[in-house]
Amino acid sequence: MMLTIGVILVIITIYFLVKRYDARLVLLVSGVLMACVAGTPMAALNAFAKDMTNAGLIQAVCSVMGFAMVMRFTECDKHLINLMASGLGKVRPLLIPGVVVATYAVNVALPSAAGTAAAAGAIFVPLMMSAGVHPAMAAAAVKCGTYGSMLNPGLAHNPVVAKIAGIGVMEVIAFQFKANIASLIVAAILITAIAYYKKEHKGYHAEGLEVDNSFKVNLLYALMPMFPILLLLLGATLVPSLKTDVPQAMIIGSALSLLVTRKNPVGLSNAFFDGMGKAYGEIIGIIIAAGVFVSGLTSMGLVKAFIDAMLNNPAIVKVCAAVGPFLLGFITGSGDAATMAFNQAVTPHAADFGMEIKQMGSMATLGGTLGRTMSPIAGATIIVAGIAGVNPMEVTKRNWLPVVGAMIIGMALLMY
């Protein structure tokens, strides 16, 4: 009876997430309600209190979002995007795949998918349309690249997996690097093939959406968004003497951008701390809510039942890790809630299924992120569709095959 009630509550939770109710509220209420039904109401509140002070997550996520706000304040993000756009505009055959890769690179430095869609879309969509690319295809190309945050140490899921596995966040990123790049290449090739097949790669006449060719790119400004990531990668691989943690790298990057751009120090400081606060409220908040939800699942015995089912059928574990978060990411428009719940509830038991924690966690993260990338109701999809002046569903019609192809190749590499 308890399991039946739990399953019903989970279905109701998914329903409200699909209806785009606030994910934090839905997960919190669901988790508390399940804990109360199970007779352990304090379990949910204890989980809430515990996750409020998760040091590793707070340091990484908040510092990265603080740095992202600094890049917006200094307008270094605009210089990076315009630099990429100026290069792509000169090589027409590489325009569509180049935009996918360029957007991915921007999303590595600026981990918000919606923020990347707004910043990159404002430049790349008009660029492609002015070159004759169909508006929906232009929006789809940008959307295909909005999962580069997988390689950012501040993406909330990377520190979560690292903490569960007891390893460094850069080790998690290094493990998933090849799979991510391979999936990106597949997505770029497939979206280009679809554009040529539908004859949407040229012939469109844009009116009123021209690229601002008067924008003067400062190369040094353009390099600033990438600096902390490069510092972390160099320190973790080629130059051990430069090894540092995420918060330190973000602060160094912010300080360097202040020296380079000579912006108001007070304004830059305010931007950094505003970004940190926003990160705690919007990103850490989802992590906390997901923890409460998982505590409710645990109290009702659903986690144990799910794990027992997988232990008895180990062949479905890898499928669940990949497809589960992917489908929920597609349905809800956000891969965060599903991925967080899976990683907190199931990933710690990866060894029981003959998998490494970083392997299972990376599969769940990639699945949820790609599901959101394909979703017509994701914030980033709505943003690029709005810039292009098309229905969000038209974007999904064009990027579903590239995203599914990216998931297949990415999961294959992570599995084996």
Phi, psi of 208 (to 5 degrees): 80, 5
What is the model's pTM?
Answer: 0.74
Cβ atoms of 286 and 25 within 8 Å: the answer is no
CA-to-CA distance for 381 and 316, rounded, in angstroms? 31
240, two tokens:
């051990």
Tell me the C-alpha distance between 373 and 410, whole Å. Answer: 14
Domain boundaries, the chain: 2-415
Would you call 77 exposed, middle or buried from its count of C-beta atoms within 10 A (0-12, 13-18, 19+)?
buried
CA distance 104 to 119: 12
Widest CA span of the chain, in angstroms? 67
Q: Are the C-beta atoms of residues 38 and 300 closer than 8 Å to each other?
A: yes
d(CA 409, CA 185): 10
Q: What is the pLDDT of residue 236?
A: 65
Q: Among 415, 189, 156, which Cα is nearest to 290's?
A: 156
How much is the pLDDT for 310? 62
Torsional sign, CA 104, 110, 112, 117: negative
Q: Which amino acid, 164? A: I
Q: What angle do CA 383, 152, 325 make, to 5 degrees?
A: 65
Contact present, 367 and 374 (Cβ < 8 Å): no
pLDDT along the chain (416 residues), means of 10: 86 82 86 92 90 78 85 87 74 87 87 80 81 91 93 86 90 94 97 94 68 78 86 76 82 94 95 91 81 86 74 71 82 74 84 89 93 86 85 91 96 89
* pLDDT reported for residue 206: 63
348 touches 303 (CB < 8 A):
no
Closest among 128, 124, 121 to 200, alpha carbons compared: 128
Residue 320's pLDDT is what?
Answer: 79
B/e letters for 361-381, b = 16+ CB within 10 Å, e = fewer, are bbbbbbbbbbbbbbbbbbbbb
